[in-house]
Amino acid sequence: MAYCVEEIRKDFPSLHQLIRGKPPVYFDNACMTLKPQEVVEAMNDYYFIHPACHKRAIHKFGEMTTLRYKKAREAVQEFINAKEPQEIIFTRNTTEGVNLVANSFPFKKGDVVLTTDLEHNSNLLPWQVLSKTRGTIHKVFPLSHDFTFDLRRFEDVLGQGVKLVSVFHSSHIIGCVLPVKDIIRLSHQYGALVLIDGAQSVAHQKIDVLELDADFFAFSFHKMFGPTGMGALYAKRPLLENMSPFLVGGETVEDVDYTSFVLSEIPDKFEAGLQNYAGALGAEAAIKYLTRVGIEEIQRHELKLNTFITGEVLGLPKFKLLGPQDAALRTGIINFFIEDMDSGELSILLDRTNNIMVRSGVHCAHAWYRKCNLLPSVRVSLSFYNTIEEAKIFVQTLKEIIKHF
């Protein structure tokens, strides 16, 4: 079936409304993707048809929820090609997945955790806290000046006793993609485990955790057309079995007395309390939708949009792009600032003029912006429901704003 963006847009109710008489131009997809109708309907199925707990209740509603929750986990397993559904832990988001590893893995004093200098705060703060509470050592590996990852220099650092490498797959700041397969291969040669922050990659490229040989892979469904408050952590079974939960309570135990308890098997021991069952159903629906559209088609479409916008804006007065100038070296992200113009005010002008919704700020990467001595920037982030017409509206509006100011 041929890719037709206009047909796809019919599935997203939020794109059908008018704001100040004009349709929205939603370019904030790296923060939050819009939701197709079928995702919302799948979540409503839980609330309207079988709103009960899974496993605990043996009545019909509970039986239905247990079955659907199980199927959702299997859908995630298949989507990222994990060996078994038990290797999928449902979380609230990528942040919780990273924190789960930080708090549950048996780190020892002196263990080294290595991240890049371009991480989201969610893959930076847990390791800073761990160094204070457990005596681990957090080291930062800087990307090269051309935003590439120097594998030879990385190998030199690995030889310094690194226990865990925790890095982004695709940058939410500049859109570059790390050579994670090579990073994992080298890390394993030196006895280090690898956690991949896949928040920005799962909706834009095919993920195969077995092919990558990733030890941990964390992601959020709100960035892949699914519900908020729903994420997943993949981890190899032997690692999960050797980890202790950092949240305990209902579902995490098989038996309890006043002095001891017996933990449940994976994945239950990591999913404390009542879970986001509606979110799991919405996540499964998002996976089905994303699979039906096709990752390859999405990549082609987003590159087309990115190439067009990049070609139109690079020559604008005082325009400064963060990251590689070649659109092919970035996912659907154009992060920039205009010299002598406040990025927050620019984003407001884009919104008020033509409903162009972008993100301004330091994008949860305070340390990198401070290191590079950068002021807040404006980030355009694209998705498969965006159109060339919207791209043209953005370019023309930006040109008019720059000309006026």
Q: Average pLDDT for residues 214-233, to the nearest whole number?
A: 98
What is the pLDDT, as a whole number, of residue 56?
A: 81
| DSSP for 289-331, written as a single string | HHHHH-HHHHHHHHHHHHHHHHHHHTTSTTEEEES-SSGGGSS
pLDDT single digits (tens) 295-310: 999 999 999 999 999 9
What is the pLDDT, as a whole number, of residue 169?
A: 98
What is the pLDDT, as a whole number, of residue 57?
A: 83
Does the structure show a pLDDT above 70 at 36? yes
pLDDT single digits (tens) 349-386: 999 999 999 999 999 999 999 999 999 999 999 999 99
Q: Which fold has domain 5-30+294-404?
A: Aspartate Aminotransferase, domain 1 (3.90.1150)
Q: Average pLDDT for residues 273-287, to the nearest whole number?
A: 97
| Type and span of the H or E element at 97 | helix 94-104
What is the pLDDT, as a whole number, of residue 55?
A: 84
pTM of the model: 0.97
Confidence grade of residue 283 (pLDDT, cut at 50, 70, 90): very high
Q: Average pLDDT for residues 250-270, to the nearest whole number?
A: 95
Q: Average pLDDT for residues 131-150, to the nearest whole number?
A: 97
CA 257 to chain CA mean position, Å: 40
pLDDT single digits (tens) 81-139: 999 999 999 999 999 999 999 999 999 999 999 999 999 999 999 999 999 999 999 99
What is the pLDDT, as a whole number, of residue 371?
A: 97
DSSP class of residue 229?
A: T
pLDDT single digits (tens) 49-62: 999 999 888 899 99
Give me the catalytic one of 31, 53, 176, 364. 364
- Which of 217, 222, 281, 226 has the alpha carbon at shortest distance from 88? 217
Give yes or no for a contact between 342 and 349, defined as CB atoms under 8 angstroms apart: no
pLDDT single digits (tens) 179-221: 999 999 999 999 999 999 999 999 999 999 999 999 999 999 9
Confidence grade of residue 153 (pLDDT, cut at 50, 70, 90): very high
Sign of CA dihedral 341, 345, 347, 351: negative
53 is catalytic: no
What is the pLDDT, as a whole number, of residue 72?
A: 98
Q: Which fold has domain 39-291?
A: Aspartate Aminotransferase; domain 2 (3.40.640)
Q: What percent of the chain has pLDDT over 90?
A: 96
Does the structure show a pLDDT above 80 at 1? no
Does the structure show a pLDDT above 80 at 340? yes
Domain extents in the chain: 5-30+294-404, 39-291
**Average pLDDT in the chain:** 97
